[in-house]
Amino acid sequence: MIAPQGLRAWQPSDSARRWRVPAAARLTRLELRHNAMPLLLPLAIAIFGVFTYSKTLGMPPLWNVRAANTQSGLVADFVTPVAGAAAWMGSREARRRVTDLLETVARPRFARLLASWAATSSWAVAGCLLCLAAVYWATSLRASWGGPLWWPAAVAVASMPAFAALGFGAGVLVPSRFTAPVAAIAAFFVVALSTELIAGSQSYWQVSPIVSAAWDVGPDPGVATFYPYLPDLSIAQLMFLAGLTVAVVAAATGLPRASGPRRLRVVAAAAATAGLLTAGAAVGLTGTGTLDAHGMIAIPALHDAADDRPLQFTPVCSRTAIPVCLNPAYAADLQAAASALGPVLSEITGLPGAPVRVIQSATTYRQGPGNEVSISLAGPVVSGTPAVYRLLMPDQLGGPQLSPGQLRDALRAGTDPSVIASVVGDGPGASAAQRAVAAALLLAAREPYRALATGTASGVRAPGTPVPGSVPSRRRRVAAAGAGLIPAPVLQAALRFRALPASVRRAWLVRNLGALRAGRIVLARLP
């Protein structure tokens, strides 16, 4: 029955003869070659490209923002294909009616199922790493400071074997052609809906790998820029995913009677128990987490106090009369910030008490009731001697990403009045003269506010109000600037003062700024 021509047609290759690959590796290689995951990977990658990649690259080139968004995106985009493919592979033996034949082989059932799950997971991890590499590579081209954050990446990657384990387990335990689609859809809803139950930063549900930052804050530019990224939540998530993976894989492949010898089943039972305990511990730890002052989840048992120290960096500064200095991660915004603040800074340069530098500072976060979080400047607006004005860039307060033009407008509307107010003493309880001088300096600095001169006699909208020291709510913070009205007498005095030559204005201010700040100058005494 031997056919010599056939023997010539198929011979093991030289390389195969040279390399003696262990049997388990060969089994896994066969499973890799005949796995459902590679068929679904293009779909997963396409979903990632359409939804997550494009969205992430539209975000500021800050590592923390992009890493956090990529973690959530990868988990959401991959969960359906991975769980579905794994369920399909898990149900394969029963669907293909190979069970009877496989019952009679020497290698334990545990080993062959493990190889199949490992192959599915490997493909999913490879796809995940590919997507991750694309985002990180694109970010590295534009980010001006910092480096890749590996904790969010690790959570995203670790989610793949966990989803594969869940899908695979479903396929093994309920082998049917419908198991795969049901598992895929169920996995998506479980992941997507897990966030609906999060209330506040102490929610156990933050253990869901789709949560990449304090859920109430989200991927925020103000987080992990001035302080190190806190890995506490990521560590808890990794513990949860590892425990879940071990528990499900051990239960699905090692516990059934046909899986192997009693000793192996005892080990599988122990592994499943250990996995469940680990996952449970991770959930418990997540519940002890609190939103820290830097906008991240701190879990006391996992927290390293060294992570509370601010990051060291050399700011990038403008060449304006009063330098505007930003965190190097924001280097791309320096030009817009300098051009927005430059005219106002020119007006106050050299005045007594005027800041010698404007420097970007960190925000502080405080958990409110429910999912409310207040974000504000950490510390006073002006500090030190000589005075330094502490600046918050608009996107540190969350909200949509701003174009350079929008950024300039936001700084003019919010920061310019605040800078003037810090010198003149404008603000709640300020005198009419202080308000008039502040308005005059703003009008002098900014062409657009000449339109104020056409205001009604009873009052016009002020050019802006200083950025408050505290923004009460993330959802309300954008509406911080410009709600006040200037009474007509104040406006007339402001227009009069603004009409003075700059040198006269400056000379008067140099002489009278102390008295003005003390509230000793009345409106009528303004030149």
Q: Give min distance, CB of 274 to other proteins, in A.
A: 24
Q: Is the Cβ of residue 13 or residue 458 nearer to other proteins in the bound state?
A: 13
Contact between 11 and other proteins by CB under 8 A: the answer reads: yes
Q: Is the Cβ of residue 98 or residue 504 nearer to other proteins in the bound state?
A: 98
Contact between 105 and other proteins by CB under 8 A: the answer reads: yes
Choosing from 14, 15, 18, 20, the residue that interacts with other proteins (CB under 8 A) is 20
Is the bond preceding residue 489 a cis peptide, omega within 30 degrees? Answer: no
Dihedral of CA atoms 335, 407, 140, 314 in degrees, nearest 10, equals 50
Residue 173 burial class via C-beta count within 10 angstroms: exposed 0-12, middle 13-18, buried 19 and up: middle
Q: Give min distance, CB of 30 to other proteins, in A.
A: 6
Q: Is the Cβ of residue 93 or residue 292 nearer to other proteins in the bound state?
A: 93
Q: Give min distance, CB of 271 to other proteins, in A.
A: 19
Contact between 101 and other proteins by CB under 8 A: the answer reads: yes
- Kindly state the DSSP code that residue 44 receives in the 8-state scheme: H
Contact between 2 and other proteins by CB under 8 A: the answer reads: yes
Both tokens of 463, joined, read 């050019």
Q: Is the Cβ of residue 16 or residue 453 nearer to other proteins in the bound state?
A: 16
Contact between 261 and other proteins by CB under 8 A: the answer reads: yes
Nearest CA to 70 out of 83, 51, 90, 93 is that of 51
Choosing from 15, 18, 100, 524, the residue that interacts with other proteins (CB under 8 A) is 100
Contact between 319 and other proteins by CB under 8 A: the answer reads: no
Q: Is the Cβ of residue 262 or residue 309 nearer to other proteins in the bound state?
A: 262
Bridge partners of 373, per DSSP, are 367
Q: Give min distance, CB of 97 to other proteins, in A.
A: 3
Q: Do residues 223 and 217 touch, judged by C-beta distance below 8 A?
A: yes
Is the bond preceding residue 261 a cis peptide, omega within 30 degrees? Answer: no
Q: Is the Cβ of residue 98 or residue 301 nearer to other proteins in the bound state?
A: 98
Count of other CB atoms within 10 angstroms of residue 13: 8
Give 347's contacts (C-beta < 8 A, 6+ positions apart). Answer: 420, 441, 444, 445
Three-state SS letters, 97-144: CCHHHHCCCCCCHHHHHHHHHHHHHHHHHHHHHHHHHHHHHHHHHHCC
Contact between 106 and other proteins by CB under 8 A: the answer reads: yes
What's at 524, amino acid-wise? A
Which residue stretch of 28-36, 213-221, 299-307, 443-451 sits at the interface with other proteins (rule: CB under 8 A)?
A: 28-36
C-alpha 215/C-alpha 161 separation (Å) is 24
Contact between 99 and other proteins by CB under 8 A: the answer reads: yes
Q: Is the Cβ of residue 103 or residue 304 nearer to other proteins in the bound state?
A: 103
Q: Give min distance, CB of 105 to other proteins, in A.
A: 4
C-alpha 290/C-alpha 367 separation (Å) is 8
Subset of 438-477 contacting other proteins (CB under 8 A): none
Contact between 309 and other proteins by CB under 8 A: the answer reads: no
Q: Is the Cβ of residue 14 or residue 447 nearer to other proteins in the bound state?
A: 14
C-alpha 32/C-alpha 523 separation (Å) is 82
C-alpha 79/C-alpha 187 separation (Å) is 6
Q: Do residues 221 and 69 touch, judged by C-beta distance below 8 A?
A: no
Both tokens of 150, joined, read 């590996």
Using CB under 8 A, count the residues that bind other proteins: 39
Subset of 29-48 contacting other proteins (CB under 8 A): 30, 33-34
Q: Give min distance, CB of 7 to other proteins, in A.
A: 5
Contact between 16 and other proteins by CB under 8 A: the answer reads: yes
Q: Give min distance, CB of 258 to other proteins, in A.
A: 10
Binding characters for other proteins, 357-396, by CB under 8 A (x = yes): ----------------------------------------
Contact between 3 and other proteins by CB under 8 A: the answer reads: yes
Please, where are the H alpha helices in 226-289? 232-249, 262-287
Binding characters for other proteins, 143-182, by CB under 8 A (x = yes): ----------------------------------------
Choosing from 23, 46, 185, 457, the residue that interacts with other proteins (CB under 8 A) is 23
Q: Is the Cβ of residue 9 or residue 306 nearer to other proteins in the bound state?
A: 9
C-alpha 366/C-alpha 495 separation (Å) is 41
Q: Give min distance, CB of 77 to other proteins, in A.
A: 26
H or E, element range at 15: helix 14-18
Contact between 22 and other proteins by CB under 8 A: the answer reads: yes
Choosing from 57, 59, 102, 331, the residue that interacts with other proteins (CB under 8 A) is 102
What's at 442, amino acid-wise? L
CA triplet 127, 128, 130: central angle to 5 degrees? 65
Nearest CA to 372 out of 204, 201, 221 is that of 201
C-alpha 198/C-alpha 179 separation (Å) is 29
Q: Give min distance, CB of 221 to other proteins, in A.
A: 48
Nearest CA to 476 out of 369, 399, 378, 380 is that of 399
C-alpha 84/C-alpha 250 separation (Å) is 19
**Binding residues vs other proteins (CB under 8 A):** 1-3, 5-12, 16-17, 20-23, 26-27, 30, 33-34, 92-93, 96-107, 112, 261-262
